[in-house]
Chain A
Amino acid sequence: MARAVSTRRKIGFTILGWTVGFLIFFPVLWTVLTSFKTELQAISIPPRFVFFDWTLENYFAIHERSNYFRFALNSVYLAFGSTLVGLLFAVPAAWAMAFSPTPRTKDVLLWMLSTKMLPAVGVLVPITLIFRDFNLLDTRVGLIGVLFLINLPIMVWMLYTYFKEIPGEILEAARMDGATLAKEITQVLAPMAVPGIASTVLLSVILAWNEAFWTLNLTTTNAAPLSAFIASFSSPQGNFYAKLSAASTMAIAPILIIGWFSQKQLVRGLTFGAVK
């Protein structure tokens, strides 16, 4: 951006940019605004944008349906549980591929990615039947297993691209200086690996939190996370706009904030490093 930009041009783009940004963001904004209205004001014609009696009653109402917390807790368990298991599997694998590559490493990586292409409906029937036979339907353990497996390839890829950027010479230099294995890991490798692991965790949590196909099909109540809870609002008796908005706001707020923080890493994670 070395070129001088005329002020007029800049103001023009500012107006255009903010208008477009506002339009795209509008459904989210409208949901958040509606969550603070009374049910009556939520459906008032013409719609009220800011001038209404702000209230928290919908949030209290959602909390009173005491099970909301269970759904939220399930979301936390599933998103973080599957991510944690994923890390235990993916970190060693990515580490090995990045630091002791063999001629077959590339094939293994591509094969892992190919499992991600397996459409969920293709295996819906057997997974449902296996879950039924092993009493895993509507359990957190079962769902963590599935979510971990569908995100594992992405985690391996993302960690691999990060680990590859750690220069191997640093490790050798540390060894020459007589560093013990423990020191090597805690003082040399960890500081360089942690940012990559952190971005991978963020992406995995986002994907698992928002996952809907498996949560809708394999859970009913006990293990159902927020994505399934929200879906239950589509039944006629649940169509209270303000309450729906409050529940939606609470369901998307944490992930929206995490997502905003990790937007840069997201590109690498989602395109498997193909776009830089």
Chain B
Amino acid sequence: MATTQTKSAARLMMAPSVIALLIWMIVPLSLTLYFSTLNYNLFNPGDTPFIGLTNYRFFLSDPAFFTALRNTLALVLGVLVITVGGGILLALLLDQAFYGVNIVRLLVIAPFFVMPTVAALVWKNMMMNPVYGVIGQFLNFIGLGAIDWFSTAPLTAVIIIVAWQWLPFSTLILLTALQSLSEDQKEAAEMDGAGVLSIFWYITLPHMARAITVVILIQTIFLLSIFAEIYVTTSGGPGLQTTNIPYLVYSQALLQFDVGGASAGGIVAVILANIVAFFLIRLIGKNLDA
């Protein structure tokens, strides 16, 4: 089949995509690398001397960086714990046969399609507002007293919002994996006298292991760059309490006009993401039978 002619035709068909992505990857990334070595501030764009790694030294030794790094990790880990744990339970629930299971499935995956800016605003104003929010009124009603989420526990509030958006994703993936588990295997285990818990622990969970890994890796990639939810709800504050690395880079670039410093921060973000991506690519690459 693969004559020289079809081969060159194939190359021609792939060329636009490959070239477009090559440019998209190389041009901005090399510019970011270049800017990161300059003392480049948009207030003074005429004079941009080369300063080597000074921007990195400043960015990495800035206390704001450590706060942002800690917040980024707390956000990623917090959301992962909620979505993976909750996703497993939800997938198990939705795998059962009950009345209206298909409709419930649609209800559960709905948050994934809500655009991040809408999700953030709805939670901030209508759920978590201490006076008018539904959660506050509910807590008042049962006598616990409303919480002013965004001033007392801003990072927790952001974690809840983001987890709500990503719970459907892990549920959907884990449910798909669960449905490919053969009933025979479970039945055989049941016949041998295995209880519900040991079936879950020795059969169901190992079967889902691969899907769980995929969920963790893909979500981590997206969660490392959470931006809209923070931009809309807290603008990184109060203080630096909800500033993560993307928000820190954004504020350095577009609020403080420090192109050099922001570029150094951008490169740090790229390195962080690549560490995660390395494992993801290896995992998916193994599955690819090209």
Interface residues, chain A, with chain B CB atoms under 8 Å away: 1-3, 5, 10-11, 13-14, 16-18, 20-22, 24-28, 30-31, 34, 43, 45-47, 88-90, 92-93, 95-97, 99-102, 105-106, 108-110, 112-130, 149, 152-153, 156, 168, 206, 209-210, 212-213, 216-217, 226-228, 230-231, 233-234, 239, 241, 244-245, 248, 251-252, 255-256, 258-260, 263, 266-267, 270-276
Contacts and interface: CB of A to CB of B under 8 A. Distances in A.
B108 interface: yes
Contacts of B103: 21
A2 B184 CA distance: 9
**Size range of the interface on B?**
35 or more
B121 A234 contact: yes
Contact of A117 (B17, B31, B277): B277
A230 B118 contact: yes
Instruction: Please give me the 10 A-B residue pairs with the lowest Cβ-Cβ distance, nearest first.
Output: A212-B228, A126-B31, A259-B113, A123-B28, A92-B13, A117-B277, A96-B10, A106-B290, A21-B104, A21-B107
Given A27-B126, A126-B31, A252-B118, A96 B13 contact: yes
B117 A113 contact: no
B243 interface: no
Contacts of A97: 10, 14, 290
B126 A245 contact: yes
B182 to A, nearest CB: 11
B150 to A, nearest CB: 12
B221 A117 contact: yes
A238 to B, nearest CB: 10
Contacts of B113: 206, 210, 252, 255-256, 258-260
B169 interface: yes
A241 B266 contact: no
A21 B106 CA distance: 8
A171 to B, nearest CB: 9
Given A26-B134, A30-B126, 18 more contacts: A5-B97, A21-B107, A21-B108, A24-B164, A28-B114, A28-B122, A43-B132, A97-B10, A100-B6, A110-B281, A122-B269, A126-B35, A130-B27, A217-B254, A227-B228, A239-B125, A258-B113, A260-B110
Interface SS of chain B: helix, strand, loop or mixed? helix
Given A128-B253, A255-B113, A47 B227 contact: no
Contacts of B245: 121
Q: Which of A21, A206, A239 has the most CB of B within 10 A?
A: A21
B110 A256 contact: yes
A3 B265 CA distance: 56
A213 B227 contact: yes
Contacts of A244: 121, 125
Interface stretch (B59-67, B151-159, B172-180, B198-206): B172-180
Given A30-B126, A109-B288, A234-B232, A46 B137 contact: yes
Contacts of B189: none
A82 to B, nearest CB: 12
Interface SS of chain A: helix, strand, loop or mixed? helix
Interface string B1-19: 1100011011101101110
A114 B281 contact: yes
A124 B266 contact: yes
Given A3-B187, A100-B1, A106 B115 contact: no
Contact of A274 (B1, B32, B127, B214): B214
Contacts of A109: 288, 290
Interface in B95-125: 96-101, 103-119, 121-125
A153 B97 CA distance: 37
Contacts of A115: 21, 24-25
11 contacts: A14-B99, A34-B126, A96-B13, A100-B6, A117-B273, A119-B224, A149-B24, A216-B117, A241-B132, A263-B105, A275-B177
Contacts of B263: 125-126
Contacts of B197: none
Contact of B115 (A22, A152, A210, A263): A210
B261 to A, nearest CB: 10
B24 A100 contact: no
Contacts of A31: 118, 122, 126
B259 A213 contact: no
A122 B125 contact: no
A114 B221 CA distance: 11
B246 to A, nearest CB: 4
Interface in B239-290: 245-246, 249-250, 253-254, 259, 262-263, 265-267, 269-270, 272-274, 276-277, 280-281, 283-285, 287-288, 290
